[in-house]
A and B are shown apart, each in its own frame.
Chain A
Amino acid sequence: MDDLRAITRDVDINATKISARRVQVHYGDTHAIKNVDVDIKERTVTAFIGPSGCGKSTFLRCINRMNDTIDICRVQGDIRIDSDDIYDRKVDPVQLRARVGMVFQKPNPFPKSIYDNVAYGPKIHGLARSKADMDEIVERSLRRGAIWDEVKDRLHAPGTGLSGGQQQRLCIARAVATDPEVLLMDEPCSALDPIATAQVEELIDTLREKYTVVIVTHSMQQAARVSQKTAFFHLGSLVEYSDTDEIFTNPKDRRTESYISGRIG
């Protein structure tokens, strides 16, 4: 508990990176997110927990405007990253997604080589001036994804040939290759075995040094292990948002307590 508190103190010094106010999301007739206000701190791992269908993934997808790709989805309210409104008309969602990387539930490497997987983002955004530049970006990203040592000898083998855990770390490397400020992770370990999960969790902890990480997870142990801040969602509302140790040891809301002790969900 003592070191958890040490982390918490760190966090409070950090500035707010993402600030959401009165966010509403409708899927057709379903009201998926109701009036969510949240401030996510810079260089922190923030976990979103809650029962299935509570809207945590939907909210996550608002932050890089992935919900725009779904026809029937409507997002209202105000989300700012570094005080820029990301739903402003001037903002290009394509550019935004280079700033806000995303990792998905199932590892989804493209059916291309490992190198091309990582190089894809930098290539479409024109981040590399030369081949050498690109090589450097790929190596740096793979190192950040903690997978460089495993794949450095077979960069041109297909990414789909890796194991599940390696694929997921490759996807993380792919996401950091565009040099984002925020990394969104949608249940990144739910398709992985315990060993691969431990590796990815360790990686998430190191990613905190450079990135603001938001992770959706079904596992409360995982939230407790990797995050400094935790937000509990229930039926589309943000019920409680606080330091992780606070949520798990001393929840303020009755619903949070029931969920953590396993009664709802």
Chain B
Amino acid sequence: MTTLAFAILLMASLAGYALNRRAATGIRDGGARLHSVSNYHGLYALLLMLVPVIVVILIWLVLQGPVVNAMVMSALPAGTMDGLDTGQVDLILAEIRSISGGRIFGKPDPWKLAAAEHLADLRQLAALSLVLLTALLCLAIMCFARQKVTAEFRARQAVERIISGLMIFCSVVAIFTTVGIVTSLAFETYEFLRLVPLSEFLFGLNWEPQIPIRADQIAAAGAFGWIPVILGTIVITLVAIVIAVPIGLLSAIYLFEFAPKRIRAVAKPLLEILAGVPTVVYGFFAILVVAPAIRSFGASMGISVAPNTALAAGSVMGIMLVPFISSFADDALSAVPRAMRDGALALGATRAEMVLNVLFPAAIPGIVGGALLAVSRAIGETMIVVMAAGLMANLTLNPLESVTTVTVQIVTLLIGDTSFDNPKTLAAFALGMMLFLVTLVINIFALRIVRKYREAYD
């Protein structure tokens, strides 16, 4: 039925287009001078129909489910719902829905069968009214648009207004999605903080996210201090940045200033391929190549190295960030005016001196901005650390030990059977919230630096 509504809308808007266009052409052929060419009159009818009616249909579809459910539940025999919590109410609703879908298990109560029938009727009705509403709206708008067609009507501006309305709608969707994500995070985080005090979460030095299965279990109480987890993230991020920044920066400078054309033509796309490698593949690389190499190297030096070190995960993550940093550095370097380079060269500076003394200081805000964005990517990176980092939350700064990260913990907390009323699961949302806040602050900081640098040479 929804498809039918869309089909009606499409046909009606095409018809409106043709109608208006013909009317406008008729006026022109009658000798009048049109303000807008007839195509715009047609487009006006088309867009005037398409944009608002699609919005109406979408809103209808979003609201239809909950409204129908509420109507079914309120029509149940009085007293059925007394003393039931939300979970049980949901269960009844699900059963009614599956009955109306034709999947009947056992012998359901007669009131459930009645409700299922009611539900099916309501759905039918809703779909029918949607189609009717669409048709009526289309007809009304078509008449309205047709009556607008005159020689003086400014269809060009009208079309522009409708299109700008469409753009506003799209940006609002993007903004509301963000708001929705943050709200859902905040809601679950609030639930978590009702079970675990904020001070324990923020300052606790132990992370053992478990809950007792039986009441008499020994050592079952979990500990939810996020310090060791964020410390692990910081260690891995630091390793990644220490590796990514020099490699990315120096390769960018080499490709930008020193490399002959032929090498640049080959090396730059190769570097960009690195950016296209899926992180899961980086994860393989970390487990199969880097971690054993570090371990055997440590063994040859007489140092005991954990099998899944922060160093292995961090260094592979650093390699992942190299193209990111180098493309930012490249942008920053090419934004430095050529006159600046010529000035230094003409004073008798060598290329290296020129890069170091003139290009680099001029490009540094852009490079720092890029590095900070890389940091927030490293903090949020999940797949590599899930595969290559540990699960134990060790309170350590030693990159040769196994550490865990915020993202790894979120993944492990949410894997498997979960219920959303215990701190173990909810902790994932609290961690997600903190991750979101940390990366948000870093991003704001980075964007501010980048913007400042943009003003430098204008």
Contacts and interface: CB of A to CB of B under 8 A. Distances in A.
A64 B346 contact: yes
B396 interface: no
A171 B343 contact: yes
Nearest to B361: A111
A121 B348 contact: yes
A124 B344 CA distance: 10
Given A66-B342, A108-B337, A124 B362 contact: no
Nearest to B353: A124
Categorize the interface residue count of chain B: 20 to 34
B194 interface: no
B347 interface: yes
B358 interface: yes
A231 to B, nearest CB: 21
Nearest to B362: A111
Contacts of B337: 108
A178 interface: yes
A178 B348 contact: yes
A98 B348 contact: yes
Interface residues of A, number: 26
Interface stretch (A44-52, A99-107, A206-214): A99-107
A104 B342 contact: yes
B362 A108 contact: no
A95 interface: yes
A219 to B, nearest CB: 21
Contacts of A111: 340, 361-362, 456
A94 interface: yes
A104 B358 CA distance: 16
Given A71-B261, A120-B357, A124-B349, A110 B344 contact: yes
A178 B347 CA distance: 8
A249 interface: no
B62 interface: no
A108 B340 contact: yes
A94 B361 contact: no
B290 to A, nearest CB: 38
Contacts of B343: 104, 108-110, 171, 174
A95 B347 contact: no
A66 B343 CA distance: 10
Interface in A104-129: 104, 106, 108-112, 120-121, 124-125
Contacts of A120: 344, 347, 349, 357
B273 interface: no
Given A95-B348, A109-B343, 6 more contacts: A97-B347, A102-B346, A120-B344, A120-B349, A121-B347, A124-B349
Interface of A: 64, 66, 69, 71, 94-98, 101-102, 104, 106, 108-112, 120-121, 124-125, 171, 174-175, 178
Nearest 4 A/B pairs, CB to CB:
A108-B339, A97-B348, A102-B346, A98-B348
